[in-house]
Amino acid sequence: MTKAKIYTRCGDQGNTSLAGGKRVPKNHPRVEAYGTIDELNAHLGLLAASIECNSTIATIEEIEHRLMTIGGYLATENCTIPPLGTDDIQALENKIDKIENSLPPLNCFIMPASSEAAARANVCRTVCRRAERQIVALQQETNIDNCVITYMNRLSDYLFLLQRQLLDGKEKIWQNACK
């Protein structure tokens, strides 16, 4: 069996292939959306490498699998198979509730991070929000399963709370927010 080369030269003119072979510009809204999902997954891998809690690492790995599924869904034009179900959203909401119940109430805005792991979680949150915005923009052009947008919205909530959990009570409060 011959080993395939990593470069194909097919994208040298600024186009790429969706799943199924259709060629689109590399800045097509669909490519932007699944590309940002890919970026988020890379950041999540970096986050997982910076923490030691096995259950949190396992949760991040579950999320990475869901994001790979979402990325494949977004890369496939006219895909009719939903990439996620309400059970995926409920599982994430359960994790959110567990973290939120372990944290004190937050009445002010917090500054992004005071530790490396928390800072990485915050970067993941902001990339997740960008991916969500791009998916919403794509939904204005084509049919996108609502569970994808809901999942991305919950994921950014999870990442915010994970940041707070990783700070372990050492949050830096934005001074202007509490006046």
pLDDT tens digits, 17-65: 667 767 766 778 888 999 999 999 999 999 999 999 999 999 999 999 9
Q: Has residue 162 been placed in a domain? A: yes
Q: Has residue 120 been placed in a domain? A: yes
| CA 158 vs CA 26, 94, 111, 129, 170: distances in Å | 30, 10, 17, 12, 18
CA geometry: angle at 69 spanning 66 and 71, to 5°? 110
Q: What is the pTM of this model?
A: 0.89
Higher pLDDT, 133 or 14: 133
Going by pLDDT thresholds of 50, 70 and 90, the confidence category of residue 106 is confident
Residue 80: which domain range? 24-99+108-178
d(CA 101, CA 71): 31
Q: Has residue 86 been placed in a domain? A: yes
Q: Has residue 16 been placed in a domain? A: no
Q: How many domains does the chain have?
A: 1
CATH number reported for the structural domain that contains residue 71 in this entry: 1.20.1200.10
Q: How far is CA 26 from the centre of its chain?
A: 20
Q: Has residue 11 been placed in a domain? A: no
Q: What percentage of the chain reaches a pLDDT higher than 90?
A: 64
